[in-house]
Structure 1
Amino acid sequence: MDNQFKISGWAFTVYGAIVVLAFMFAYYYGVTQYLNVQSIPSGIKLLVSLLFVVNLLAFLCGIYLLKENTVVHKFALPVSIVMLLSFPFGTFVGGLYLWERFKST
């Protein structure tokens, strides 16, 4: 059987991996090296944490889309909608999934 979400799976996986690695790199070299963690406002900490979780979920959704798991669509749909706000690459990846998802219905 041909996986109709193969392109979306690869897009989610690559985008999620790159962004999660960028977050980890920025955290290690930005926060731990140069900034005092106490000086960052709690709203910024919460926003960065939420963005990290969304991109980690995007990475995991991509892996499970490639494995052709049917339950992953319950998570991939809201993640792709949130990713639409991340212009330009997140918009492309989220829109690609939504297009493939609703093309099949």
Structure 2
Amino acid sequence: MDNQFKISGIAFTAYGAFEVLAFLFVYVFGATQLSSIESLPISILLLVNILLAINFLALLCGIYLLKQNQAVHKFALPVSIVLLLSFPFGTFVGGLYLWQRFKN
């Protein structure tokens, strides 16, 4: 059985893994550079946590797209739309999934 979303799965997985590691690096080592994490404004912490959650969902969507799980499309569609706002790589990953999803 041919996996129609193999390229999208690889792109989602690579993008999500890189972004999650990048945000965790900033979150952990950025907090140690400051006197404490409470000195950061709450809006920046909220933004970092939301972006970390979206990128973790992108990683999970990529894994489940590679496993050919049909239920993942309920999550991959909104995640890909949100990733369109992340220029340039997120736009490529989100656009690639949307193109493969709606090319029929």
Q: Which residue of 2 aligns with 1:70?
A: 70
Unaligned runs of 5+ in 1: none
1:72: Cα distance to partner? 0.1
Q: Which residue of 2 aligns with 1:52?
A: 52
Separation in 2 of the partners of 1:65 and 1:73? Answer: 8
Separation in 2 of the partners of 1:29 and 1:52? Answer: 15
Q: What TM-score do you get using the length of structure 1 for normalisation? A: 0.95
Unaligned runs of 5+ in 2: none
Q: Which residue of 2 aligns with 1:18?
A: 18
Whether 1:34 and 2:36 are equivalent positions in the alignment is no
Aligned residue-pair number: 103
Q: Secondary structure at the match of 1:87?
A: coil
| % identity of equivalent residues | 70
Separation in 2 of the partners of 1:48 and 1:28? Answer: 11
How well do the aligned residues superpose, as a CA RMSD in angstroms? 0.7
Which amino acid in 2 is paired with 1:96? L
Q: Secondary structure at the match of 1:71?
A: helix
